[in-house]
Structure 1
């Protein structure tokens, strides 16, 4: 009771003096997973601190500005430091060099050089000046979750606002809902270890990342704990166990995954296509839902069109390709629920999370490190995970048949799991943040 009263008193302080919070490392509104993380983080912060001034730092800041109505008119959106006019040439130069030789060296050099030059560059770059000022004026900096803290050049791009806020400006800095690792070289392990040690709060979105950090990076502290992906805090429909419509439907997300061997990508696409054919023979309707529209390796529309063209030649009235580019993450959850999807086959992890919020059990195709296996364990769907490198039509169809066989049990368990996951972790995160936030 005393702790609850203390938290209530803290809230009263916030109403008197406006808090300034920066939410950094957001990606793009057109990747629905990243948009879900950003939106859910904003809504949770506003729930804790009603009188808050929030600034988002995003790579594709124009996409978030276009959708300010969904974020809230009071939210300010600025570019991440590395995409400003003065730092972008450096990022391109060092990023290109890191792909040619000495991969583990150019990332740290880019980070150090960027931080060293920023005091000078901001005199000539108004974008960079505004971005850095937002951090300078903030009471708290939140690094949004995702899966970018591992050995690659992008790790150092994301590290710029982290190091600037915590190490140079001495700001309270927290990391919410992260998958972390693996780090393959000594330099990136050292940088990651230093950053994690200095954070005021770190929450992992799954247990596997927590284990990795403790065992492989030898970092452990009371202010580090396992919670969940922030997108679980999106508003979802009321959880009931109503009987579904008689027409069976399956939702599918795919992505343009870049393998060293081109035949593996073909096998992945063929596995999903053949499984969809098998389900259509059994009376299913198929809904292809691209979850990322950024371009390059993050363009889901391309592979969805490939599968759609194959399916529609034989079953033109049973396959649908949805364009949800401009839809909000919250709307997507509602759309998936209204479609009456029976099951879901998801490569994009956040498509699985949103399907789960809509009470739809999923087959999960794992493509990157810990996140799919770790989050599937939280959802109780760990028996329905297939690695993208090892996928075959037979393996995927076998997994689908197993889910259909145990459908009612898995769906009921999923509904209960989501309720508990949201309730427990919202309380944990809110309590941890409230203990950090105060007006100096």
Structure 2
């Protein structure tokens, strides 16, 4: 296997030569073999081990085993202990998903802190087979059946070409030691049930099922490549980027065949799962929306507006204390006393400081808000002002108001309130700027 692995690295992972590599090593068969193979081929490697504290003494013994492995090979060792169950409970996640988030978040920290180029995992062909059927049973699109990618940004999986049987045979031929995870023998998880009960039955009817699925996945990957090429054309035709996110032209999308499938391809990277609701927006009224865990899709006249949900999406009010020179949340604002006026534009205004009552409030607009636009005698509803300015629904929601008590001082980046303007009697000027 060593010579085959060397050939695999040369043909498909040549970028690993000379790179600083961090191996995710649980102490199990696969990761131990990956570590030993790379060590024998003289790659620059280190071990990273996660103790998820899920199996008591057994977890601690796994950590000790991997530490001893690193010491015997005289390579760097990194480890971390996680309270996985508490994290899962606090974040309302399954134990498996919690462990995954903790693992990769910590890997990122280690990579950044110690300058590693890639994190290597020991996923192999059998894992890929299990994932194929796992996704099939849960319902998936074409992409979900194309297999585990050999490289995903910093994560590299050089053992995907090899089966578990090949890995086990190599380990035995080299008299290697590894740890057995007792949880792998339980059928509580669907993946384990597939591995232990379903796939062995399938292999009885087709001993070459692994090879057949791999061939199918190669065909599906070719089909996926065609889809992605087509989607590039669709993207250029119907999607435009702006400061707040993306705009999708509904008319142009609707003119193309398989409109729902096109929406799926465009939007699935943003975490949407309620696809019937997404497709329903094609015939919905302005203002209807669908949200994912990270993004919002809004129908606005003849377009869909896709924006990211930020931490401040639910918080609508912030305060600026007297003598405070700047804030950076939710937007960047600087307040500087000055003795003369300079250039004025949408991002810079000058106000009469003596007319301000602190703390100033920075808040989102509400129905019924009125102000006196600079240069006007009377008041105007903000909703009417926004309509005259032709702001979209999303643009309106991104507007902040700088207020002194209940009076609007500035519709930020849009219009100053006339009541706070500089006059011949003004004694103290305050320059307010934003970084949009």
Q: Considering the TM-score relative to the shorter chain, is it more than 0.5? A: no
Larger relative contact order (CA 8 Å, sep ≥ 6):
1
TM normalised by structure 1 equals: 0.29
Higher-Rg member (1/2): 2
TM normalised by structure 2 equals: 0.29
Higher relative helix content: 1
